[in-house]
Chain A
Amino acid sequence: MSGDELYNGHDLLTGLHDSFYFSTEFDRRRSELKRSGESNLLLCLSLPEETEKERVKQVAEYWGKTFIRTCRYEKKTYTFLALDKSKDSHEKEQEILDSLASNFPDITVRINSLIIDGNSDSLDKLAEQLFA
């Protein structure tokens, strides 16, 4: 069995990338931000663990269509991350919440975000802050 068959960088349930794959994109984005002096947003969406799997898949599909760089952060929770070029975190969070409320009125979601730049911590450390 090849490495490809065992692991291909995608989460099986949602089809989103996993955190390892996403971390390669995150590191590059951070280098890009260091060069440009700009900032981006690291967005986090969390679904309660009792959310039905079918619903999780639908929200993941929405997440994957809304953002270009996304992942399911860890297998034990329904937590998705994304990189976005927006500058205003509150505005973006509200925009996503409104969009989710109209697309999935029956589910409860939590949206958090952090502003990242060229000097930001590693993805794992930022994720800890987002989940705190």
Chain B
Amino acid sequence: MGEPAEKPNKENIGSKVIIHPAFQRVKELGSSESSGFYQALQEAEKSYNAMEQKVSKLEKELEQERQENELQKKEIERLKPLAIKDGLTAAFNHRYFIEQLEAGIEENFIEGNPLSLLMIDIDHFKEFNDTYGHQAGDYVLKQLSFIANTVLRETDIFARYGGEEFAVIMPSTNEKEAEEAAERLRKAVESADLQYRGEKLDVTISVGVAPHTSESVDELITKADQPLYAAKELGRNCVVTRTYAEKELGIDLSSYSGEKS
């Protein structure tokens, strides 16, 4: 008997000629032993068929594996946006917001780019939920995100900070320009015709604006959060910048914290 035949696998299919033991046996028996030769041929045929089935099965398995890899790739591609965006509103998520704010602050330090931050809160949001149900609340959140993406620039990063609170990182933007953008957004929300199950919803937002000077991420968020509290106290549906609050209204912003809605 010769060397045992190499088992077919992913590597050798199509690249090598496989000599099956049965064919080897035919060679050994020679053509004179007709009965033995016939028997060997039958064995060879059986083995050949079995091998063909194995190859076919292996091909199917390879194809299945290829399809599964494709599916996995597609699944990852599908998940990628979900990892940086909020599933409900499609605004950027909290983690992406923080990372981008860190990067923006670093650029501000190194390259001297101005940077401003808006903190946005939907006025009386709890009432939408309490009056019309949580789906109405979700509808309001989604609509705000839609409006913001229409009104803001491609360079701005609109993110869901948490609950009904949103934030916008505005690169290369000073406080005055940020205030103008915030006012455009506030007006767009106020004038939007939002209806939920036939009921008109009067949605408004309050916005706090702060420019970055030399603060850390947390400090800058607080710096924009404080004029947002002031906007709530001033009657909501308005934009308040730090400069306006402190210099025009004489408000001590450091005293602001607590409930916003």
Is B a genuine binding partner of A? yes
Tell me how far the C-beta of A81 lies from the nearest C-beta in chain B, rounded to whole angstroms: 15
Q: Which of A6, A8, A36 contacts B172 (CB 8 A)?
A: A36
Rounded to whole angstroms, the CA-CA distance of A8 and B83 in the bound complex is 6
Rounded to whole angstroms, the CA-CA distance of A28 and B79 in the bound complex is 21
Rounded to whole angstroms, the CA-CA distance of A69 and B10 in the bound complex is 42
Total number of A residues with any Cβ neighbor in B under 8 Å:
19
Q: Which residues from A are CB-within-8-Å of B83?
A: 3-4, 6-9
- Contact assessment for B154 and A20 in the assembled complex, using a CB-CB cutoff below 8 Å: no
User: Does chain A have a CB within 8 A of B249?
Assistant: no
- Contact assessment for B155 and A28 in the assembled complex, using a CB-CB cutoff below 8 Å: yes
- Contact assessment for B106 and A68 in the assembled complex, using a CB-CB cutoff below 8 Å: yes
- Whose C-beta in chain A lies nearest to the C-beta of B156? A28
Rounded to whole angstroms, the CA-CA distance of A68 and B111 in the bound complex is 11
- Contact assessment for B172 and A7 in the assembled complex, using a CB-CB cutoff below 8 Å: no
Q: Which of A27, A28, A68 contacts B110 (CB 8 A)?
A: A68
Q: Which of B106, B107, B110, B155 contacts A31 (CB 8 A)?
A: B155
User: Does chain A have a CB within 8 A of B82?
Assistant: yes
Q: Which of B76, B80, B95, B154 contacts A28 (CB 8 A)?
A: B154
Rounded to whole angstroms, the CA-CA distance of A25 and B110 in the bound complex is 17
Rounded to whole angstroms, the CA-CA distance of A28 and B113 in the bound complex is 15
| Prevailing SS type, chain A contact patch | helix
Q: Which residues from A are CB-within-8-Å of B107?
A: 68
Rounded to whole angstroms, the CA-CA distance of A9 and B153 in the bound complex is 23
Tell me how far the C-beta of A32 lies from the nearest C-beta in chain B, rounded to whole angstroms: 5
| Prevailing SS type, chain B contact patch | helix
| CB 8 Å contact bits of A1-24 with B (1 = contact, 0 = none) | 001101111000000000011001
Rounded to whole angstroms, the CA-CA distance of A98 and B76 in the bound complex is 38
- Contact assessment for A31 and B153 in the assembled complex, using a CB-CB cutoff below 8 Å: yes
User: Does chain A have a CB within 8 A of B211?
Assistant: no
| CB 8 Å contact bits of A25-67 with B (1 = contact, 0 = none) | 1011001100110000000000000000000000000000000
| CB 8 Å contact bits of B154-196 with A (1 = contact, 0 = none) | 1101000000000000011000000000000000000000000
Q: Which residues from B are CB-within-8-Å of A90?
A: none
User: Does chain A have a CB within 8 A of B41?
Assistant: no
- Contact assessment for A6 and B79 in the assembled complex, using a CB-CB cutoff below 8 Å: yes
User: Does chain B have a CB within 8 A of A85?
Assistant: yes
Q: Which residues from A are CB-within-8-Å of B245?
A: none
Q: Which of B84, B103, B157 contacts A69 (CB 8 A)?
A: B103
- Whose C-beta in chain A lies nearest to the C-beta of B93? A4
- Contact assessment for A7 and B79 in the assembled complex, using a CB-CB cutoff below 8 Å: yes
- Whose C-beta in chain A lies nearest to the C-beta of B107? A68
Rounded to whole angstroms, the CA-CA distance of A25 and B99 in the bound complex is 11
- Contact assessment for A35 and B155 in the assembled complex, using a CB-CB cutoff below 8 Å: yes
- Contact assessment for A7 and B103 in the assembled complex, using a CB-CB cutoff below 8 Å: no
Q: Which of A6, A9, A21, A27 contacts B154 (CB 8 A)?
A: A27
- Contact assessment for A7 and B80 in the assembled complex, using a CB-CB cutoff below 8 Å: yes
Rounded to whole angstroms, the CA-CA distance of A68 and B155 in the bound complex is 16
| CB 8 Å contact bits of B122-160 with A (1 = contact, 0 = none) | 000000000000000000000000000000011101000
Rounded to whole angstroms, the CA-CA distance of A105 and B155 in the bound complex is 39
- Contact assessment for B80 and A85 in the assembled complex, using a CB-CB cutoff below 8 Å: no
Interface set of A (CB-CB < 8 Å, partner B): 3-4, 6-9, 20-21, 24-25, 27-28, 31-32, 35-36, 68-69, 85
Interface set of B (CB-CB < 8 Å, partner A): 76, 79-80, 82-84, 95-96, 100, 103, 106-107, 110-111, 153-155, 157, 171-172
For the complex with contacts A35-B172, A68-B106, 13 further pairs of A-B residues with Cβ separation under 8 Å are A3-B79, A3-B82, A3-B83, A6-B76, A6-B83, A7-B76, A7-B79, A8-B83, A9-B80, A24-B84, A27-B154, A28-B154, A32-B171
Ranked nearest first, the 3 interchain pairs of A and B with the lowest CB-CB distance are A31-B154, A3-B82, A3-B79
